[in-house]
Every structure is written in structure tokens, then in C-alpha cells.
Amino acid sequence: MFFAKLKHFFIGDPLTLDKLEEEQIPKWKALAVLSSDALSSVAYATEEVLIALLTLSAAAMAWSMPMALGVAVLLLIITLSYQQTISAYPHGGGAYTVAKENLGETAGLIAGAALLIDYILTVSVSVSAGVENIGSAFPLIAEHKVIIGVLIVLLIMSLNLRGIRESSNIFAYPTYFFIFSIILMIAVGTYKILSGSVLPHSPILHESYPEVPMFLLLRAFASGCSALTGIEAISNGVPIFKKPSQTNAKITMIWMSAILGFFFLGISLLAHVYGIIPENGQTVMSLLSRSVFGKNILYYATQVAVALILLLAANTSYADFPRLSSLLAKDRFLPRQLSSIGDRLVFSNGIIGLTLSAILLIILFKGSTHLLIPLYAVGVFLSFTLSQAGMIVHHQKIKEPHWRKGLVINAIGAVTTFIVLIVITITKFIHGAWIIVFLIPSLVFFFKQIKRHYLGVGHQLARDSYHQNIDLNNKKKYTTIVPISGIHPGVVMAVQYALTISDDVRVCYVDVDKDATEKMLKVWEKWSQGLPLNVLNSPYRSVLGPLLDYIDQVHVESGKDLVSVVVPEFITRHWYHQFLHNQMTLVLRTALRLKSGKVVTSIRYHL
């Protein structure tokens, strides 16, 4: 009762299934929920490009604008490609569904594994980047970024457990505050350059560029591609849009891509012209907004806006990870509990699983965005490539109207994203991408083992013996064992119950203290009315081992298929008092669950 009240306090009262359609959201809210990941990436994508180029020299940073233009072209290609995906698969599922239905089960599982990893990384990267961004303006926060990051993830989890409609109301305003802040920063920064109040450090495009190793340029481009993470979220989450869901999703994706492209090019351009160089303890966004506004209220407002969008970018994963997990669970590749809809019409188990995984990453990588980023883009572009390749097969199979146009768009998208995938994997392999390269096939193997287990269980439960008739004349009374640790009303109830179901009741007691055992035998002799007490020797003072051995011994001696174990226990008045008492009853019940032929019955005495 206490837990139920606590649950309702934090996540609200349960909703019935007929409210499911009311939980769908309009385009302007969906933009905030599903685009925050993509939009937030502009806060660190430019910085990652500059850091990669700066490893050679400050002069190499002249290549930042060509890199930005290349990423913008790739953004256009991927956006057009995913428009095709939304048209073909309006029920969501994204790369997993497309790849599974067109390229086969293994390809679908690879895409699913890549996306799940991507969503977990999105939460950890976004929250870490948000905390770091705040730490640029307030150094005290930077000192405790791990614990602050963990607390923020828990807060986002609790908001999402309240349902998609309610969480979208909360997350929409910070998203639009960020959009307004970045537009203002780009506009003011551009005005200062055009008005001559700020002298450009570098021209927008150079007549000649310094010689830079091709590998370094590829690495810089791969780093800039982190700006494209989260683009697929809208195609995965089509069902959360108000009707017509498909049309609204496509329009929202165009809005998102246009804003993302404008922001990434604008920030990269200003950083290049203003001569922003990454510094330890200061993000590029912090340095750029300070150069544009000065250290005033607009600077701090921009830092707050960037921090909020980075923190809330995690919400994109909370919209898509549970839904993808539910699809995999329905196909029996993940535990079936992930397919269940919770009290607030969201996949609660998936939300909790995402939270725990993201917190683990934040702790392991000490809340460092720079350490997490190399892990990020491999899974993203792998899912991009498989999705587009699946769409090529889809167009060839279905041949819907204008299918050739869609085929060309998806073919260009598949080739482009595959090339980028190779570049990212090679350039970031030693910096951490090897973890993802190892983890994705491991997850696929894990998925297949889960399905194998479910198929095996289903096969055994469906055997012919299941259909045997019940023998109403078979009223065997099995041997019953009652393990006790003393005599109290719960033990009395357990023994009395055992005598009603069996003619062969064996009460046992483990001897871990000679004096206590002698006292127990005297009390038992007075109380038991002749019922024998089996004392089990335990030279090493273990309780569980001798009990399990005795139960197995009795099972063999009885020659019966089943042995009933009646476990007495007392329940304290308040749940928190239970921690003050021995939990051997719980341990024994758990151990007996793993042993065949043992029927376990708990007799509870409530204090």
C-alpha cells in the first residue's frame, strides 16, 4: 500500500487503455520530444571537429567550414532517405523493422542492437555534455559532474514514467528556449561581423588550405557527423504523433532537419570567423556566446539554454528506446516484461532499463563527453546504412507509386552512410569505437539466445503430456518437510497445515549451536506431542547447505515425484522492520525454486 501511494505520487494515477489515443501529441510537442537529441548535438559537434583539427595545428582549423558543409550535405541526404522510411513504415520501428522485414532477421537484430546502444549513449552523452556546459560557467558544478549527471538521469526517468503527453508539456519549453537563444546568438554574431564591429579572424572560405593528412580530415569529418545523431528518432516514433501520424511525422522531420542544418552551419561559421579555439574547462559554445554577447545576462541565458537542451536531449531516447525494446520483446529477442505497457501507458520497464544503463556509462566514463563521443556515431551510421539498404529492397519488392524515385534516394543514402560508417569506424576505432564493434555482435548473440530459450520453453510446455487428463482418483499424500529455526506462532501454523496435507510430516532443525539445540529439543519435547524433530548436523555452521541436502535426501528416500516443503515465516508490521530480521526464509525459498520436484508453500504469520 505504501509503495502504491509513493508510486502514484511520483508518476500519477494509472490510465486505462482507452486513453491511449489521448496520449498522442501534436507536431510542435513532438519536435521537442523527438528532436532534442539531434538539435542538442550542435552544442558539441563543432567542438569535436575543431578538437580533431587542432591536434595537428591551429592553422588546420581552416578546414572546419568544408567539414561543416560536408556534414550539411549528408544531413540532407539522410533526411530525404528517412522521409521514404516514414512513408513505407508508418507504424514506427525504424531501422529494426525495415532491416528485419527486408534484409532478414540477423540484419534486423544488428540494427536493433546498434539503435539500443545509440539510445543509451544519447542519454549519457547528452547529460554529461549538459553538466559540462553548466560547469563552464559555474566551475563548482564541474567538480561533481558524475553525481549531478546521475541525479539528472533519475529526474528525467521519473518525468517519462508519467507518460509521453505529460512529459512533452515539460520538455517543450526548454527546447524552444534553446531554439530562440541560438537564433539570437547567430543573428547577433552575424550582425556584428557585417556591421564591422567585430573583425573576422579568418575568411569564410580560404583561397588555399594548409596541408593536412587525409586521415586527420576524415577523423574531423567523422567527429562532425555526431551532429546527425538522433535524426532517425522521428521515423522510430511515428505512433506517438496525433493523426494523421504519418504526415505529421514527415513535416516534423523537415522542421527538425532545417533547424539542425541552420544551427550547425551557423555555429561552425561563427566559430571559424571569430577564431574560437577549444580550451580546457570551456566549451566552444561557451567561448562563442561570450565572444558574441560578452559576459552578461545573454551569455548566461545561452549557457542555460544549451545546458537544458543537452540534458533534455536524453528524452529522445526515452521516447524511442522503450518502444524499440518492446518490439524486440514481442519478437522474443528480449525479456517479455519489456513489451508490457505500464500504468501511465508507457513502457515502464524499458524506461527503467535505459536509466540504469545510462547511469552505468556515466559512472564508468566519469561523465566525460569527450570519452563517450567516440562510442557514439558507429551505431548511428550502422543503423542508417541498414535502414536505407532495407528500403532499397522494399522498393524493389513493393513497387509502390514513384518507387524508382524512392529507390534512387535510398540508394544514395545507403552508399553515403556506409562510407561514413567505414570512416568513423576506422578513425575512431582505437579511441573507443572498438567497444561498439565488439558489443553489437555480442548483443545479437544475446538476442538469439533469448529467443532460443523462449522457443525451447514453448516447445516443452506444448508437449503431448500437457493434454493428459486429470486423474481425480489420484489423491496421493506426499512427504512434507517443515524446516524451523525455533517455535513461534508461525511455526505452529506451518506444522498444523503440514499435518492436514500429509501423513508423513518431517520437521527439521539445523544444529549450529549446541546449547541452543539442547534448549530447542527440550521445548520441542513439551510442545510436539510426540512428533519427532530431525536435528541436522552442521559442523561449519551453515544453515542452507544442510537443509537442502536433507530435502534432497528425503526426496530420494520417499520415492515420490514431489516433496512438499512448508516454510514458516513471520511478517513484521512495517515493511522496513523486515530488514532487521534474518532473511533465511527468503533465501531458502529462492534456492528451492531452482530444484525440481519440490513444492514450496509459505505459511506467513503477521505480527
Bridge partners of residue 566, in order along the sequence: 601
Q: DSSP assignment, residue 241?
A: B
Instruction: Tell me which amino acid residue 291 is.
Output: S
Q: What pLDDT score was predicted for residue 582?
A: 64
**Minimum mean pLDDT among 387-396, 551-560, 568-577, 593-602: which range?**
568-577
- Region 538-564: what's the mean pLDDT? 87
User: Are 356 and 150 a contacting pair, CB within 8 Å?
Assistant: no
Q: Which CATH number fits domain 2-12+24-455: 3.40.50.450, 1.10.10.10, 1.20.1740.10, 1.10.167.10?
A: 1.20.1740.10
Q: Is 510 or 485 the better-scoring residue by pLDDT? A: 510
- Region 126-152: what's the mean pLDDT? 80
Angle between helices 145-160 and 164-195 in degrees, nearest 10: 130
- Domain coordinates of the chain in residue numbers? 2-12+24-455, 480-606
Tell me the pLDDT of the chain averaged across its residues: 83
Q: What is the pLDDT of residues 464-495, one digit of tens each?
A: 554 555 455 555 667 999 998 888 888 889 99
- Region 366-385: what's the mean pLDDT? 78
Residues 6+ apart with CB under 8 A from 96: 108, 109, 111, 112, 115, 324, 327, 328
Q: What pLDDT score was predicted for residue 333?
A: 93
- Region 166-190: what's the mean pLDDT? 87
Q: What is the pLDDT of residues 440-465, one digit of tens each?
A: 999 999 999 999 988 887 777 565 55
Q: What is the pLDDT of residues 30-75, one digit of tens each?
A: 888 788 888 888 887 888 888 888 887 777 788 888 888 988 988 8
440-460 as b/e: b if 16+ CB within 10 A: beebbeebeebbeeeeeeeee
Does 538 have pLDDT greater than 90? no
Q: What is the pLDDT of residues 411-438, one digit of tens each?
A: 988 888 898 888 888 877 887 778 888 8
Q: DSSP for 208-232?
A: S-----HHHHHHHHHHHGGGGTTTT
CA distance 507 to 489: 15
Give residue 278's pLDDT band: very low, low, confident or very high (50, 70, 90).
Answer: confident
Q: What pLDDT score was predicted for residue 470?
A: 47
CA 235 to chain centre: 18
CATH T-level fold of 480-606: Rossmann fold (3.40.50)
Degrees, nearest 5: CA angle 59-62-64: 130
CA distance 587 to 400: 60
- Region 234-262: what's the mean pLDDT? 87
Q: What pLDDT score was predicted for residue 102?
A: 92
User: Are 247 and 162 a contacting pair, CB within 8 Å?
Assistant: no
CA distance 531 to 550: 18
CA distance 436 to 375: 6
- Region 118-147: what's the mean pLDDT? 80
For cell 539445523, name the residue: 510
Q: DSSP for 427-496?
A: HHIIIIIHHHHHHHHHHHHHHHHHHHHHHHHHHHHTSGGGGPPP-TT------EEEEESS-SHHHHHHHH
Q: What pLDDT score was predicted for residue 223?
A: 79
Q: What pLDDT score was predicted for residue 261?
A: 92
CA distance 540 to 386: 59
**Minimum mean pLDDT among 82-91, 406-415, 544-553: which range?**
82-91
Q: Is 80 or 465 the better-scoring residue by pLDDT? A: 80
Largest CA distance in the chain: 105
